[in-house]
Amino acid sequence: MKNKLTIELLCKEAKIFAKTESSHEEPSIFGVTDGKAVGTYLEHKFQAYLKQKYIYEEGSSAKGIDFPELMIDIKVTSIKQPQSSCPFKNARQKIFGLGYSLLLFVYDKIDDQNARKSRLDILHSIFIKAERTADYQITTGILNIINNKGNSDDIAAFMQAHLLPVEEIQAMQIADEIILNPPNIGYLTISNALQ
């Protein structure tokens, strides 16, 4: 009988999967330079690996994240150009986070020209808690303002100066909320295109 998937089991299995996958040679991704295609390959393979052992609700495009019950999404990125698009919805998420956690796989893709196969050396499997999925620069800047006895006006001005996609009235509302509930330092870099 299969066990129910938990966050702890997911993190444990991600490490095991990363180690196993790092020695696997795959012809279907040989010569592929599109990071999204490589990410989709790895995500699908990890999901297939988990389905053999665990019961869980699988995500869909409609749900937006890979593990809706656990509130976790998978992201895959190359060490050579570490980036991944993420469906950020608004400026608040740059400050307070996505609202869900991330499981991040960082790989180095090695193509074997003779064998015409690729190997994904998974260098890191990292779990980022939901409260740490905000933007590093924005959150540290806001916390510096608060630590220097800044007020809501200072925070709203900071948001405007950093071109956050937010109207002036909404910026003041968010600034008032920040004074009452300062954000955690985020671990991500989020562009103003909200990716």
Please say which residue of 114, 132, 150 terminates a domain. Answer: 132
| Domain membership flag for residue 163 | yes
Q: Do 58 and 29 share a structural domain?
A: yes
How much is the average pLDDT of 143-160? 97
| Domain membership flag for residue 187 | no
Residue 86, amino acid:
C
Q: Do 112 and 84 share a structural domain?
A: yes
How much is the average pLDDT of 122-145? 96
The total number of structural domains that make up the chain:
2
Q: Do 81 and 22 share a structural domain?
A: yes
Q: Do 44 and 20 share a structural domain?
A: yes
Domain CATH for 23: 3.40.210
> At 194, is the pLDDT very low, low, confident or very high (cuts 50, 70, 90)?
very low
- Which percentage of the chain shows pLDDT scores above 90? 81
Does the pLDDT at position 88 exceed 80? no
Mind giving me the DSSP string for 144-187? HHHHTT--HHHHHHHHHHTT-S--HHHHHHHHHHHHHSPPPPP-
CB atoms within 10 A of CB 144: 11
Q: Do 110 and 154 share a structural domain?
A: no
pLDDT tens for each residue of 35-68: 889 999 999 999 999 999 999 998 865 567 999 9
Structural domain harbouring 33: 3-132
- Distance from C-alpha of 48 to C-alpha of 27, rounded to nearest angstrom: 18
Q: Do 142 and 47 share a structural domain?
A: no
pLDDT tens for each residue of 157-171: 999 999 888 899 999
**pLDDT (0 to 100) of residue 72:** 96
| Domain membership flag for residue 191 | no
- Distance from C-alpha of 153 to C-alpha of 17, rounded to nearest angstrom: 48
Q: Do 162 and 126 share a structural domain?
A: no
Q: Are strands 117-128 and 72-78 parallel, antiparallel or unpaired?
A: unpaired
C-alpha angle 26/29/31, rounded to 5°? Answer: 120
